[in-house]
């Protein structure tokens, strides 16, 4: 029997560092959908991976004193380990440094160029290195990057451009005729009103200011920019290559993608740039792009600079992997941002997992052992309250399907835990401990416990995509082999078998104690960061000697690499009263274009010297030895001020 295929992807994680909890949510949510579809009998292919090229990674590798490939090998490994820790059941992990991917990207670029969709030009604009994005003046917020709030740099370079406008009308028609293409609905309106209706600008698709990327085969001083490189992973991961006369079986089987699961910050790239590229390649468009919201820390966006970043692996040490998965999936709304605080995680853990689910399983298995030596009894007919419990189970099954099929995962979690609450209420209504006092009530007691075990089994089947490890343990404890979606009908649990060994699923957490531990660890970390190891230092000097050093503020006007000197940059700086040329050994840590316009501190009375035959009239103030960091000043600082 041929199963219906289902191809689902995450956005590939940028391999510049460790993903925080908000980033990790995406792979957990995608995994839940993939597991659910497998339960429903689909032939699922779930792909994730890492985006490993770009200027930011090249710069970070230089700062670390290693090659970009060494850098991404390390970070991609860390990301993959984190995905594995979260029990992610992906079928393929793609890296954009994979040879097959790079070869296909070269061919895609060449095909688009040969058919006239890509042309060479010059780019002039404002560039944010961390976001690897260009912006216009009007898009900036307070003169800074609208996405990350950092400084942007005016950039001019030769580049290749993709003719976006050529396909804009066709894309608009597709969006209007496929209302399910962009979800939620609010994201679709945003794309149409903010980008398509005002008119698309041609897209910069190559760079020359760095070289860590897929080279343009016919113009190797250019590297393919992120849009073509990273986005193409969804088809290259299936073996697609435009130069193939016949695409591989994997591509033919799984494409078009059923859903790309992405963050709301990259909707434009996936619903405008990506479909237009596919149109140009003559490839069918994905069926759906689902853009999930963000996880904030309390009310604030997670940010390393704010010190409010939470990591999934650190949470897992305190709450277990399924504790982290459950919080992520139960707390993120369909269209609005979710929130995480340690207090909220503890509350969810104690209320839902320890009390509602864990305590129910523990009590029911314990009563089955106490009253029937662990043997599951044959039910002996219903009374009114039994029917209410069965109706709650049937309702949960129906609603769970509807909600998971529409990616409303948190609401799907809610209906299952409402059913579990009904099962806990059923215990209070039937009072098994009272029934056990009279031998004549034994058939009724056996029915009550059977119904409870069956409700637990159904909940475990439904929750398998959410907390798979826990559900596997539940099946063992209640000795349920009927643990597939086909077994959801009430009454599938076999009587006459003995329940398994009882184990605590979730231990209640002492909120006060844990919060105190977390705060103590946070303070210790801050203290450690504040107090670096004391250096040996230099001999003490008097104020007179210090005043002999003249430090002045200056602005970098020009900057370029010194030929045949890997470590040196030649800079022209404005001291207000004159301009000077300075040669500095910082080429390993900074790109020339990133320094132009920066305000710095210069040792202005240093005797001139020659470095590699070039005159140097001063020195930049910087910190560090293995990693050098230039001291930058506020952009409003006047040139030529004395620094005291």
Question: Has residue 194 got a pLDDT over 80?
Answer: yes
Question: Has residue 539 got a pLDDT over 90?
Answer: no
User: Which residues, listed in sequence order, are joined to residue 207 by a DSSP beta bridge?
Assistant: 223
What pLDDT score does 612 carry? 82
- Identify the residue with better confidence: 81 or 628: 81
Measured distance CA(467)–CA(484) in Å, rounded: 15
Question: Has residue 546 got a pLDDT over 80?
Answer: no
The residue-averaged pLDDT of 449-466 equals 98
pLDDT tens readout for residues 124-157:
878 887 776 777 787 788 888 877 778 888 888 8
Would you say how long the chain is, in residues? 644
What pLDDT score does 457 carry? 98
How does DSSP classify residue 397? H
Does this model's pTM top 0.85? My answer is no
pLDDT level of residue 418 (50, 70, 90 thresholds): very high
What pLDDT score does 305 carry? 54
The mean pLDDT of the chain is 92
pLDDT level of residue 536 (50, 70, 90 thresholds): low
What pLDDT score does 297 carry? 80
Measured distance CA(597)–CA(557) in Å, rounded: 6
Question: Has residue 537 got a pLDDT over 70?
Answer: no
What pLDDT score does 258 carry? 98
Cβ 505 vs Cβ 459: under 8 Å: no
Among 2-16, 136-150, 225-239, 330-344, the minimum mean pLDDT is found in 136-150
Q: What six digits make up the tokens of 358?
A: 């864990």
Question: Has residue 217 got a pLDDT over 60?
Answer: yes
* DSSP-derived secondary structure for 324-390: HHHHHHHH--SSSPEEE-HHHHHHHIIIIIIIIIIIHHHHHHHHHHHHHTTBPPPP----HHHHHHH
User: Which residues, listed in sequence order, are joined to residue 159 by a DSSP beta bridge?
Assistant: 121
Q: Which domains does the chain have, with CATH numbers?
A: 341-487 (1.10.730.10), 543-643 (2.40.50.140)
pLDDT level of residue 169 (50, 70, 90 thresholds): very high
The residue-averaged pLDDT of 590-601 equals 91
What pLDDT score does 164 carry? 95
Question: How many angstroms separate the first and last alpha carbons of the chain?
Answer: 80
What pLDDT score does 131 carry? 73
Going by their DSSP bridges, the two strands 338-340 and 599-603 should be labelled as unpaired
pLDDT tens readout for residues 251-297:
999 999 999 999 999 999 999 999 999 999 999 999 999 999 999 88
Gyration radius (Cα) of the chain, Å:
30
Question: Has residue 200 got a pLDDT over 80?
Answer: yes
Taking the alpha carbons of 72, 78, 80, 83 in that order, is the dihedral positive or negative?
Answer: negative
Three-class secondary structure assignment of 290-317: EEECCEEECCEECCCCCCCCCCHHHHHH
Among 326-330, 365-369, 492-496, 549-553, the minimum mean pLDDT is found in 549-553
The residue-averaged pLDDT of 320-330 equals 98
The residue-averaged pLDDT of 208-234 equals 95
Going by their DSSP bridges, the two strands 551-561 and 223-224 should be labelled as unpaired
Cα dihedral 609/611/616/622 (nearest 10): -110
Going by their DSSP bridges, the two strands 614-616 and 609-611 should be labelled as antiparallel
Q: Please write down the long-range contacts of 629-632, taking CB distance under 8 Å and 24 or more positions apart.
A: 629/589, 630/586, 630/590, 630/595, 630/598, 630/600, 631/600, 631/601, 632/598, 632/599, 632/600
pLDDT tens readout for residues 423-432:
999 999 999 9
The residue-averaged pLDDT of 588-608 equals 90
How does DSSP classify residue 618? -
Work out the burial of residue 22: count CB atoms within 10 Å of its CB; fewer than 13 is exposed, 13-18 middle, 19 or more buried: buried
- Identify the residue with better confidence: 501 or 149: 501
What pLDDT score does 307 carry? 64
pLDDT level of residue 209 (50, 70, 90 thresholds): confident
pLDDT level of residue 613 (50, 70, 90 thresholds): confident
Instruction: Report helix, strand or coil for 607.
Output: coil
Instruction: Report helix, strand or coil for 591.
Output: coil
Instruction: Report helix, strand or coil for 113.
Output: helix
């Amino acid at each position: 029997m041929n199963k219906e295929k289902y191809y689902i992807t995450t956005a590939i994680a940028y391999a510049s560092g460790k993903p925080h909890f908000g980033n990790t949510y995406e792979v957990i949510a995608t995994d839940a959908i993939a597991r659910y579809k497998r339960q429903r009998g689909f032939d699922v292919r779930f792909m994730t991976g890492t985006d490993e090229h770009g200027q930011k990674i090249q710069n970070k590798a230089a700062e670390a004193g290693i090659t970009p490939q060494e850098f991404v090998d390390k970070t991609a490994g860390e990301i993959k380990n984190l995905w594995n820790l979260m029990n992610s059941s992906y079928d393929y992990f793609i890296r954009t440094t994979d040879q097959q991917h790079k070869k296909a990207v070269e061919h895609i670029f060449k095909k688009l160029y040969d058919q006239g969709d890509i042309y060479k030009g010059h780019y002039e604009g404002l560039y944010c290195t961390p976001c690897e994005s260009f912006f216009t003046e009007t898009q900036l917020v307070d003169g800074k990057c609208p996405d990350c709030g950092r400084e942007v740099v005016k950039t001019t370079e030769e580049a290749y451009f993709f003719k976006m406008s050529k396909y804009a009308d066709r894309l608009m028609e597709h969006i209007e005729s496929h209302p399910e293409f962009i979800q939620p609905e609010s994201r679709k309106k945003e794309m149409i009103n903010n980008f398509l209706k005002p008119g698309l600008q041609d897209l910069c698709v190559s760079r020359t200011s760095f070289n860590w990327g897929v080279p343009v085969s016919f113009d190797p001083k250019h590297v393919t920019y992120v849009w073509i490189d990273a986005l193409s992973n969804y088809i290259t991961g299936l073996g697609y290559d435009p130069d193939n006369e016949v695409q591989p079986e994997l591509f033919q089987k799984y494409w078009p993608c059923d859903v790309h699961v992405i963050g709301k910050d990259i909707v434009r790239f996936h619903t405008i740039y990506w479909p237009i590229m596919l149109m140009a390649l003559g490839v069918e468009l994905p069926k759906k792009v689902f853009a999930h919201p963000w996880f904030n820390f309390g009310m604030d966006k997670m940010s390393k600079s704010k010190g409010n970043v939470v990591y999934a692996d650190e949470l897992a040490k305190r709450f277990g992997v399924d504790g982290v998965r459950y919080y992520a999936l139960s707390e993120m709304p369909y269209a609005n941002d979710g929130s995480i605080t340690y207090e909220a995680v503890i509350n969810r853990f104690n209320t839902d997992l320890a009390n509602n689910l864990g305590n129910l399983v523990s009590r029911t298995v314990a009563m089955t052992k106490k009253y029937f030596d662990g043997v599951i009894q044959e039910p002996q007919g219903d009374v009114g309250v039994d029917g209410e419990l069965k109706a709650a189970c049937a309702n949960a099954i129906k609603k769970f399907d509807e909600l998971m099929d529409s990616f409303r995962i948190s609401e799907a979690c809610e209906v299952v835990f409402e059913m579990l609450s009904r099962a806990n209420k059923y215990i209070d209504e039937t009072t098994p401990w009272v029934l056990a006092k009279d031998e004549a009530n034994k058939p009724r007691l056996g029915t009550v416990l059977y119904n409870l075990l069956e409700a637990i089994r159904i909940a475990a089947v439904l929750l398998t995509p959410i907390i798979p490890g826990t559900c596997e343990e539940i099946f063992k404890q209640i000795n349920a082999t009927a643990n597939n979606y086909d077994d959801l009908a009430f009454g599938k649990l076999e009587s006459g078998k003995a329940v398994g060994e009882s184990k605590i699923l979730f231990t209640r957490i002492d909120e006060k104690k844990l919060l105190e531990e977390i705060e103590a660890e946070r303070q210790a970390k801050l203290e450690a960061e504040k107090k670096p190891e004391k250096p040996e230092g230099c001999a003490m000097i008097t104020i007179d000697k210090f005043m002999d050093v003249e430090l002045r503020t200056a602005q970098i006007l020009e900057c370029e690499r010194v030929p045949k000197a890997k470590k040196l940059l030649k800079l022209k700086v404005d001291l207000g009263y004159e301009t000077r040329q300075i040669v500095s050994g910082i080429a390993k840590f900074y790109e020339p274009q990133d320094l132009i316009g920066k305000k710095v501190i210069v040792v202005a009375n240093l005797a001139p010297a020659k470095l590699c035959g070039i005159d140097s009239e001063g020195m930049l103030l910087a910190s560090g030895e293995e990693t050098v960091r230039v001291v930058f000043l506020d952009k409003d600082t006047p040139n030529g001020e004395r620094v005291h």
